[in-house]
A and B are shown apart, each in its own frame.
Chain A
Amino acid sequence: MIELLPQAASLIFTIEGIGVLVLGTMLGIILGALPGIGSTVAVAMILPFTLTMSQAPAILLLLAVYAGSVYGGSLSAILINTPGTPQSAATCLDGYPMAQRGEAGLALGWSTVASTIGGLTSAIVLLLAAPQLAALALNFGPIETFALILLGLTCIVSVSEGSLVKGLLAGGIGLFLGCVGGDPITGEARFTFGQFQLISGFNLLAVVIGVFALSEVLIRAASRDEADHGLVSFSGIVLPPLAAWRGRVKGLIKSVAIGNGIGILPGTGAATAAFISYAEAQRSSPNRKNFGKGEPDGLIASESANNAVTGGALVPTMALGIPGDAITAVMLATLTLHGVTPGIRLMADNPVLIAAIFSGFFVINLMLLPMGMLVAKGAAPLLRLREGYMLVLIVLLCAVGVYFVRGNPFDLLVMGGAGIVGFVLRRQGMPMAPLVIGMVLGPTLEISLRQGLIITDGSFGAFFSGHPIAVVLMALAIGMLSLPLVGAWRKRYVATE
Chain B
Amino acid sequence: MSVLTERRVTSLVLLLVGAALLSQTFGQAHSGLGAFSPMFFPRIVLGFWVAVAVLDMVAELRDRKAVTQPRLLRVTLIAVASLAFLLSITRVGFFLAAVPFALVALVTLGVRNPVSVAGVAIGVPAALVALFNHILTLPLPTSPFVWWF
Contact = CB atoms under 8 A, between A and B. Distances in A.
A389 B39 contact: no
Given A392-B105, A403-B140, A221 B89 contact: no
A400 B41 contact: no
A124 interface: no
Contacts of B59: 165
A389 B111 contact: yes
A1 interface: no
Given A419-B82, A427-B67, A428-B67, A188 B52 contact: no
A176 B110 CA distance: 39
A136 interface: no
Given A179-B41, A388-B111, A172 B48 contact: yes
Nearest to A183: B38
A322 B120 CA distance: 45
Nearest to A190: B38
A221 B49 contact: no
- For chain B, give the interface size range: 35 or more
Nearest to A214: B82
Contacts of A384: none
Given A169-B53, A221-B71, A48 B86 contact: no
Nearest to B132: A400
Given A403-B140, A412-B89, A453-B35, A395 B82 contact: yes
A391 B42 contact: no
A178 to B, nearest CB: 8
Contact of B106 (A172, A175, A392, A403): A392
Contacts of B31: 186
Contacts of A409: 89-90, 141
B87 interface: yes
A389 B138 CA distance: 25
B5 to A, nearest CB: 10
Contacts of A73: none
B49 A392 contact: no
A44 B132 CA distance: 13
A186 B101 CA distance: 42
Interface string A17-60: 00000000000000000000000000011001000000000000
B49 A176 contact: yes
A396 B128 contact: yes
Contacts of A446: 41
Contacts, number: 170
A420 B45 CA distance: 23
B48 A403 contact: no
From A218, A224, A399, residue with most partner B Cβ within 10 Å: A399
B35 A458 contact: yes
B75 interface: yes
A25 B105 CA distance: 34
A478 to B, nearest CB: 16
A191 B141 contact: no
B78 A217 contact: yes
A45 B138 contact: yes
- For chain A, give the interface size range: 35 or more
A442 B41 CA distance: 10
Interface in A377-422: 386-389, 391-393, 395-396, 399-400, 403-404, 409, 412-413, 415-416, 419-420
Contacts of A330: none
Contact of B70 (A386, A388, A413, A427): A427
B89 A403 contact: yes
B39 A190 contact: yes
A450 interface: yes
B11 interface: yes
Nearest to B104: A392
Contacts of A44: 138
Interface string A145-189: 000000000000000000001101100110110010001011010
A435 to B, nearest CB: 12
A190 B48 CA distance: 18
30 contacts: A45-B136, A48-B137, A165-B55, A165-B59, A169-B14, A176-B46, A186-B32, A190-B42, A191-B42, A218-B78, A221-B71, A221-B75, A221-B108, A222-B74, A387-B109, A388-B111, A391-B105, A392-B101, A395-B101, A399-B98, A400-B140, A415-B86, A416-B86, A419-B79, A425-B10, A427-B70, A442-B45, A449-B41, A450-B35, A454-B35
Given A392-B121, A412-B90, A427-B70, 10 more contacts: A165-B55, A173-B14, A175-B45, A221-B75, A222-B71, A222-B72, A386-B111, A387-B109, A389-B111, A392-B109
Interface of B: 6-7, 10-11, 14, 18, 21, 24, 30-32, 34-36, 38-42, 45-46, 48-49, 52-53, 55-56, 59, 65, 67-72, 74-75, 77-79, 82-83, 85-87, 89-90, 94, 98, 101-102, 105-106, 108-111, 120-121, 124-125, 128, 132, 136-138, 140-141
